[in-house]
Structure 1
Amino acid sequence: HATACPGPDPAGGHPPAWRGRPQVLRAYDRQGRICGGRLHDGTDPEGVIAELLADPTARELHSRNVVYGCLMFVVRRTTG
């Protein structure tokens, strides 16, 4: 960032600045291989995150920009 910021909210949750934005959520396994993914419109990101993390092989999700594929943030499984 151009200026200092407090970083991610330690309580977690979907970043408010990305709510309502179309995103690609891509799931990765322990070996770093893609094991799932979904394009969504941003209206229920927690639902899509829960759906992708329901796959026990998914260890983390990358939120990516729809047009350029840039990594925006990572969701990591905290258990299992």
Structure 2
Amino acid sequence: MTTLRIEPIPADTCARLLRSDDAGRPPVLSTPAEGGAPLRCCLTRARPGEPVALVSYAPLRRWAAETGADPGPYDEQGPVFLHADPCDGPAPGWPDGLHTGSRVLRAYDRRGHILRGVPVEPAEARSRAEALLTDPEVAVVHVRALGFGCFFHAVRRA
């Protein structure tokens, strides 16, 4: 059994994204009365009336900068929600409350190239991510929405 490290968007990265996102644009701020936006800063869902920011985020690009990888054409960016103000980050463990729909787990190698994508339902996402990380070729797994492809969080070996 592999011990997992669940990685939200780090607080310092969130602070930068709230000034200018990875597409060079300012965040789109809103305060949805109904709440529910999946927040990538703390891996929870926004409460009703809680201010959120929608930004463009390039998770593989940031991971590559940290590790020295060169994802080349696998680099992509997409929309993610954050708290509009700094938060305390996530609670430890797998964020079950965040995963209410089908997901795809994308396994990347050390170069940042996609090795495989595995569609999963919420109940099996953690165990399937763990299984992917038993493969020594897999360096990081991204959890994404199956329907829209939006990044939720990364998973690595602890």
TM bin, normalised by shorter chain, reads 0.7 to 0.9
Displacement of 1:5 in angstroms is 1.8
CA displacement, residues 10-29 of structure 1 (integer Å, 9 cap, x when unaligned):
x4x21132244211010011
Distance 1:59 1:45 in 2: 17
Give yes or no for contact 1:36–1:52 (8 Å, CA) kept in 2. Answer: no
Query: Is 1:2 matched with 2:65?
Result: no
Query: Is 1:22 matched with 2:107?
Result: no
Give yes or no for contact 2:102–2:147 (8 Å, CA) kept in 1. Answer: no
Give the structure with the higher percent helix: 2
Helix, strand or coil: the match of 1:43?
Answer: helix
Q: Percent of aligned positions with the same letter in both sequences?
A: 37
Tell me which of 22, 45, 60 is aligned to 2:140. Answer: 60
Task: State the TM-score, normalizing by the size of structure 2.
Answer: 0.44
Which ranges of structure 2 fall in alignment gaps of 5 or more residues? 1-82
Which ranges of structure 1 fall in alignment gaps of 5 or more residues? none
Q: Which runs of 4+ in 1 moved over 3 A?
A: none
Distance 1:18 1:36 in 2: 23
* TM-align CA RMSD: 1.6
Task: State the TM-score, normalizing by the size of structure 1.
Answer: 0.80
Structure 1 equivalent of residue 155 of structure 2: 75
